Structure 1
Amino acid sequence: MKKTIVIVDDHVLIAKALEGIIDNFNDFEVIYVAENGKDLIQKFEANNAIPDIILLDISMPIMDGFETVLWLQDNHPDIKVMALSMQGDDKSVIKMVKNGAKGYLLKNTHPKDLEEALTRLNKDGYFYPEWASKIILSNLNNHHDADTNIKISEREKEFLKYTVTELSYKEIAEKMFCSPRTVESYRDQLCEKLELKTRVGLAIYAIKNGFAES
């Protein structure tokens, strides 16, 4: 069964062109297009299908990509959000990732690279091209290298190891022989300590600091 995608972009011609490209992919299909975040919310409220993936522009009127991904993180955290924008500056990348985006691509991406990115996003739960990964890791370096007083418990380290997997929080709880509520507590404590907002941010931190390999 193909994974379903919704495109959120206020440029109708670009959205329709993108829809045509994706509908030629073997494993993905576009089910509808929204013009901005508010339009997307209205479509959800009108009982339109909830997609597996959202391709989200950043610069949009009424409700932009930054606001939209925050709303999705709070209301539909299982949807994988891939930013697709003309904006490749550090500030935009970091803000989208911190707000909950699990991938980032530029609009000049080749269709084959888009298909690969969607495949990786669906399989791994996140996808960042090399240039975006460098921005994210550089930001983490700048933020955390100056602070050597962050204390992470052994159980929190174990939780960090699982953040890079496809396991749900309930499945992580089973692996750690604890309740889902306890796992959520580890997540919340780490997000507060590290000043992160999403599992993606925790996963990147885990990879950077070697916890994913333990």
Structure 2
Amino acid sequence: MQHSVVVVDDHILIAEALTGIIEKFRRYKVLYEAENGKMLIDKFQQAVNIPDIVLVDINMPVMDGFETATWLTQNHPGIRILALSMQDEEETLIKMIRCGAKGYLLKNVHPTELEKALDALVDKGYYYPDWIAHKVLMSLSNEKETTTATKIQLNDREMDFLRYAATELTYKEIAEKMFCSPRTVESYRDNLFEKFGLKTRVGLVMYALRNGLIKL
């Protein structure tokens, strides 16, 4: 069975290159390309144009990747969204996750990783970069996980930081929101890393989401 894919990217050459690569994958076929989210919505007026997977560039004119992912999540929650970007900033990834993306891929990856990402979206329901903590991905893929997260005691300030960490705010901006110094915010972060055995902000957020400590 082949899964249908749509590529949304305002760079025509990149979109066509992605289409050419995906068409070589046995499990996938590209329905069409769109230059931004608005064009995608217009295409969706016809049911035959609704795919299984949408590859969404983050930086686009008219309607960017964040807006596009949000619209897809609200109107077609069954579609798997794979975000495409040249950026690997944690804030950007977290924001895309909040908008409903189930995967995140850098544009400079090898075609084999693109196929791996598509396969993961279909088979597991998600795909995230290798720099996300391995332990987090393991917990996401284990539906019968028995977690100790609820047994770990967090104080009010740590919970406040955890909620802010799940936004696109920088650590400096989080410090301003919490009326403390950036160094204090870093101490909250490091304490949570130690308590949960994690190493990245994204890993921390994904772990917190998985275990119901925070909600998007």
Equivalent residue letter for 1:66: F
In the TM superposition, what are the counterparts of 1:142-161 in structure 2 within 5 Å?
146-147=158-159
Instruction: Name the counterpart of 1:82.
Output: 82
In the TM superposition, what are the counterparts of 1:26-175 in structure 2 within 5 Å?
26-131=26-131, 133-134=132-133, 146-147=158-159
Instruction: Name the counterpart of 1:9.
Output: 9
Match of 1:206 among 205, 210, 213: 210
Q: CA deviation at 1:93?
A: 0.6
Question: CA offsets, 1:156-203, max 9 Å, x none?
Answer: xxxxxxxxxxxxxxxxxxxxxxxxxxxxxxxxxxxxxxxxxxxxx878
Q: CA deviation at 1:100?
A: 0.4
Q: CA deviation at 1:116?
A: 0.9
Q: CA deviation at 1:208?
A: 9.7
Cα 1:8–1:203 shift into 2, 3 Å: farther
- Provide the identity percentage: 51
SS at match of 1:128: coil
Distance in 1 separating the partners of 2:211 and 2:2? 30
Distance in 1 separating the partners of 2:207 and 2:49? 29
Q: CA deviation at 1:147?
A: 2.0
Give the TM-score of the pair, scaled to structure 1.
Answer: 0.64
How many residues matched? 150
Distance in 2 separating the partners of 1:122 and 1:203? 22
Q: CA deviation at 1:49?
A: 2.0
Q: CA deviation at 1:206?
A: 2.5
Cα 1:75–1:208 shift into 2, 3 Å: closer
Distance in 1 separating the partners of 2:41 and 2:128? 26
Q: CA deviation at 1:64?
A: 0.2
Cα 1:116–1:207 shift into 2, 3 Å: farther
Consecutive unaligned residues of structure 1, counting only runs of 5 or more, are 138-143, 151-200, 210-214
Equivalent residue letter for 1:23: E
SS at match of 1:45: coil
Instruction: Name the counterpart of 1:22.
Output: 22
SS at match of 1:119: helix
Q: CA deviation at 1:205?
A: 2.9
Distance in 2 separating the partners of 1:85 and 1:27? 23
Distance in 2 separating the partners of 1:124 and 1:116? 11
Distance in 1 separating the partners of 2:63 and 2:85? 15
Distance in 1 separating the partners of 2:11 and 2:58? 11
Question: CA offsets, 1:47-106, max 9 Å, x none?
Answer: 442100000000000000000000001000000000011122122111000110000000
Give the TM-score of the pair, scaled to structure 2.
Answer: 0.64
Distance in 2 separating the partners of 1:204 and 1:121? 21
Q: CA deviation at 1:14?
A: 0.4
